[in-house]
Chains A and B, each alone.
Chain A
Amino acid sequence: AAGVIQSPRHLIKEKRETATLKCYPIPRHDTVYWYQQGPGQDPQFLISFYEKMQSDKGSIPDRFSAQQFSDYHSELNMSSLELGDSALYFCASSLGRGMNYGYTFGSGTRLTVV
């Protein structure tokens, strides 16, 4: 079965650079979520989209932005990168808000800022 696809798997950037992470949800899933997981921490919600509109916003820095495109894939854009942005970034998708079938997560993108 198709899963949530994230790219790239690994990314190394220097401070103050820009990074773009991509997420392709499970076909027919209409909601996409972005989470950030720092070393030894639990995943923290950043932002979500439902039917290509921003749905909810969590602890996402102003330096980050995201959008969902007409084909439902989503991109997380991160600018002016800081060392503290080094983390695993997960994308998840669900049908509706995940009430009936829960969330499915991708394998994540490991971002290292040097």
Chain B
Amino acid sequence: KQEVTQIPAALSVPEGENLVLNCSFTDSAIYNLQWFRQDPGKGLTSLLLIQSSQREQTSGRLNASLDKSSGRSTLYIAASQPGDSATYLCAVLPFSGSARQLTFGSGTQLTVLP
């Protein structure tokens, strides 16, 4: 069964810092990996989608990498801002097996202090 783990569970940084969020998954047979942002009590906003054949994707200050063989992905946020404060979730789409839909990690709760 695919398991997705995110470390750390919570992170607090001062504004302007560059930071890295980690995601690991147990089964490397995936179609893709998606990073989402969730504000408290709100919906899931897709940030980046990385296909299994890709190594990284970039959008603005965000850069996500994928190392499928080791079951790891990182989300790099450059020059963090207070508006980046949210919970960041990674999710993988399994290639096969009984779970054929997005499987989520527990998220990293990020607080960027002004």
Contacts and interface: CB of A to CB of B under 8 A. Distances in A.
Interface string A5-37: 000000000000000000000000000010000
Contacts of A2: none
A45 B43 contact: no
B49 interface: yes
B99 interface: yes
A90 B31 CA distance: 22
B42 A103 contact: no
Interface residues of A, number: 25
B101 interface: yes
Given A99-B93, A102-B32, A105-B43, A33 B49 contact: no
Contacts of B36: 105
A107 B42 CA distance: 6
B43 A90 contact: yes
Interface in A52-95: 55-56, 58, 88, 90, 92
B63 to A, nearest CB: 17
B43 A103 contact: no
Contacts of B93: 97-99, 102
A94 B11 CA distance: 31
Interface in B31-65: 31-32, 34, 36, 41-46, 49, 51
B25 interface: no
Contacts of A41: 106
B44 A33 contact: no
B49 A101 contact: yes
Given A56-B100, A99-B31, A99-B32, A42 B89 contact: yes
B71 interface: no
Contact of A45 (B34, B44, B99): B99
6 contacts: A42-B89, A42-B105, A45-B99, A55-B100, A90-B44, A102-B49
Interface of A: 33, 41-43, 45, 48, 55-56, 58, 88, 90, 92, 97-108, 110
Across the A-B interface, give the 3 residue pairs with the lowest CB-CB distance, nearest first: A107-B43, A105-B44, A102-B49
